[in-house]
Structure 1
Amino acid sequence: MPAAVLPTLRDGDVTLRPIRARDAKPLERVLLDNRGWLRRWEATYPGGGGVIDTRASIRSLTAHARAGHGLPFVIEVDGRLVGQLNVSSIAYGSLSSATIGYWVAQDVAGRGITPTAVALATDYCFRTLRLHRMEICIRPENGPSLRVVEKLGFRYEGLRRRFIHIDGDWRDHFAFALVAEEVPGGVLARWRSGRVPEGVAQVSPDDRAAAAHPLRPADR
């Protein structure tokens, strides 16, 4: 699989640029300053610790990018690093899909920065990489992230039980996706023009009820 070119993408004061080794210190600072805001949504390793190692994380992300499996970005606003966005699990051929994950600092949340970054990345994947499907999976409790997919019109696809290890346990996630045919003019343009269809990101009542009662390992 060829390594995807890591672009720099901009819209207004929001910039998505490739993550670099020298981002380790500023990234660590933002993560530590936002521990209370981010901890509930951070991916963890079963049986592992919670130490922040931004250098190791950046090395891993760039290795995946060189292998053609990911696009690791930092999010900047007016030149200030405020978050990350990672396109992962890139597959070509008959699947032609990828997954998006993201976070932003608490002091810039609610300003449209995250949906702008997600739209920029999705448009790049559809138009330049010629991918067909983009997916975002979100914990049921993560209201701000659920509002991102609602704003952009990612379509709700279902509940994934104990899907990703987050904050020390296997957590349920709601899955949302877009395929290229749904946004021929681009995700960002559709959102900005107010043409996002209503209700496509709405979670079914049955799945909301199921998510309120997480599965637990069976007693032995």
Structure 2
Amino acid sequence: MPGAYVQRGERVTLRTVESEDASFVQRAGTNPEIRYPLGNPVMTRATHEERIEDDGDDRFLVCLDGDDADPATDDENVTRIGQVDVVDADYKRPELGYWLVPAVHGEGYGTEAVALALDYVFREYDTPAVGAKAFDFNDASRGLLESLGFETEGRCRKYMFVDGDHRDMIQYGLLREEWHERG
């Protein structure tokens, strides 16, 4: 089950990813509806467990907490619906990555989860900006970033071979002051 909550919004909660969550993360990562838009390779549960334990990045489960959910402990009233990652926050400009299970796409949970992650990053790290990437064909992800104030910073042409084609990757950035101006 997910760990303690890190950040709570109106509808979603970001909770710590625990080693027991590796099977959820792996199953989602093998789903073509998620994996292809992310461009992620298929990984074993053991690889996911190693990443959870050793990589030093901030990884959060996106959860729907029931009314009786305990904010500090694992709880049966918590439903995992996705993940938000903050990569390289202690090394260089943090980079966000995120995904949700297809059953909840289009309901606004992703926008809320990424906004919570941005609040977290700008509170916990002294960084002037946050980055994110989306494939040019991933209109939903690009729309999410743009709705939160991210600006296009560049295009990596034919960046990665995904689902049978070489795909362009769009680089986005959001400055700290831009985020704070949004309120």
User: Scaled by the length of structure 1, what TM-score is found?
Assistant: 0.67
Task: Quote the sequence identity (%).
Answer: 28
Distance 1:158 1:29, change over 3 A: closer
Residue 126 of structure 1: how far off its partner (Å)? 1.0
Tell me if structure 2 keeps the 8 A contact 1:21–1:55: no
1:76 alignment partner AA: C
Is residue 26 of structure 1 aligned with residue 17 of structure 2? no
The equivalent residue for 1:99 is 95
Rounded Cα–Cα distance in structure 1 between residues aligned with 2:82 and 2:127: 24
The equivalent residue for 2:36 is 40
The equivalent residue for 1:86 is 85
Which of the numbers 26, 48, 57 marks the counterpart of 2:48? 57
The RMSD of aligned alpha carbons is 2.4
Is residue 110 of structure 1 aligned with residue 110 of structure 2? no
Structure 1 gaps of 5+ residues are: 1-5, 191-220
The equivalent residue for 1:77 is 64
Residue 167 of structure 1: how far off its partner (Å)? 4.9
Rounded Cα–Cα distance in structure 1 between residues aligned with 2:139 and 2:121: 25
Residue 59 of structure 1: how far off its partner (Å)? 1.6
- Structure showing greater radius of gyration is 1
2:8 alignment partner AA: R
Residue 157 of structure 1: how far off its partner (Å)? 1.1
Tell me if structure 2 keeps the 8 A contact 1:30–1:82: no
Distance 1:180 1:7, change over 3 A: farther
Deviation per residue, 1:112-159 (Å, 9 max, x gap):
111111111111111221221100110000011011112111111121
Rounded Cα–Cα distance in structure 2 between residues aligned with 1:15 and 1:168: 35
Q: Which has the higher strand share?
A: 2
Distance 1:112 1:44, change over 3 A: closer
The equivalent residue for 2:118 is 122
Say how many residue pairs are matched: 168
Deviation per residue, 1:8-41 (Å, 9 max, x gap):
1110230111111111233344455xx2411312
DSSP-derived class of the 1:148 partner: helix
Residue 64 of structure 1: how far off its partner (Å)? 1.6
- Farther off after superposition, 81-90 or 52-61: 52-61
Residue 161 of structure 1: how far off its partner (Å)? 2.3
Tell me if structure 1 keeps the 8 A contact 2:131–2:173: yes
Tell me if structure 2 keeps the 8 A contact 1:160–1:172: yes
The equivalent residue for 1:10 is 8
Tell me if structure 2 keeps the 8 A contact 1:15–1:75: yes
The equivalent residue for 1:150 is 146
Structure 2 gaps of 5+ residues are: 66-77
Rounded Cα–Cα distance in structure 1 between residues aligned with 2:114 and 2:80: 16
DSSP-derived class of the 1:8 partner: strand
Where do 4+ consecutive residues of structure 1 move more than 3 Å?
A: 26-32, 42-45, 162-171
1:64 alignment partner AA: D
Rounded Cα–Cα distance in structure 1 between residues aligned with 2:85 and 2:161: 17
